[in-house]
Amino acid sequence: MATLRLVSPLTGVVHPVTDVPDPVFAEGIVGPGLAIEPLRTQKQTVVAPADGVVGALHPHAFALELGDGRTLLVHLGIDTVGLAGAGFLLHVQGGQAVRVGEPLVTWSPLDVHAAGLATICPVVALQADPDLLTVLVAQGGSVLAGDPLLDWA
């Protein structure tokens, strides 16, 4: 498979996935990746990290099918499923083809934080070999939505 360049789906600070306060992500149970602590803004738009097809889609999370059997999961905050979609606006539908950088979801990290929930966002290569991922941003480094983030060989 060709190496796939993934861009950051949101603006924030890059952290190791082990910083996520949820063992499913922190222990790599669903796959390797990283996490982004978003800027605490009232509104932030999450963009497609690559060309693909929207698979599983919830207001707080989406899986993007990238082809070659690769799927990337982006989860907006932790335990945000409990918000039942409040504060999240979907711009796409499941099964929709999207292009890199296309807006997928708008959400409020500020409102999620005010609800007492963690705003950190896991970005995970589902069931991938960790050796195939190269993080392009140093831990603690800032990224803007659309900046190069990961190479997936």
Residue-by-residue pLDDT tens, the chain, 153 positions: 799 999 999 999 999 999 999 999 999 999 999 999 999 899 999 999 999 999 999 999 999 999 889 999 999 999 999 999 999 999 999 999 999 999 999 999 999 999 999 999 999 999 999 999 999 999 999 999 999 999 999
Domain assignment present for 141: no
In this predicted structure, what is the pLDDT of residue 26?
A: 97
Domain assignment present for 105: yes
Domain assignment present for 146: no
Domain count, the chain: 1
Distance of alpha carbon 15 from alpha carbon 4, whole angstroms: 21
Q: With the CA atoms of 53, 45, 61 and 127 taken in that order, what torsion angle do they form, in degrees rounded to the nearest 10? A: 60
Q: Give the active site residue among 58, 75, 91, 113.
A: 75
Domain assignment present for 24: yes
Domain assignment present for 148: no
In this predicted structure, what is the pLDDT of residue 129?
A: 96
- pTM of the full structure: 0.97
- Is 91 among the catalytic positions? no
CATH number, domain of 69, equals: 2.70.70.10
In this predicted structure, what is the pLDDT of residue 58?
A: 96
Please state, as a whole number, how many other Cβ atoms lie within 10 Å of the Cβ of residue 54: 20
Domain assignment present for 151: no
In this predicted structure, what is the pLDDT of residue 1?
A: 79
Range(s) of the domain holding residue 130: 4-134
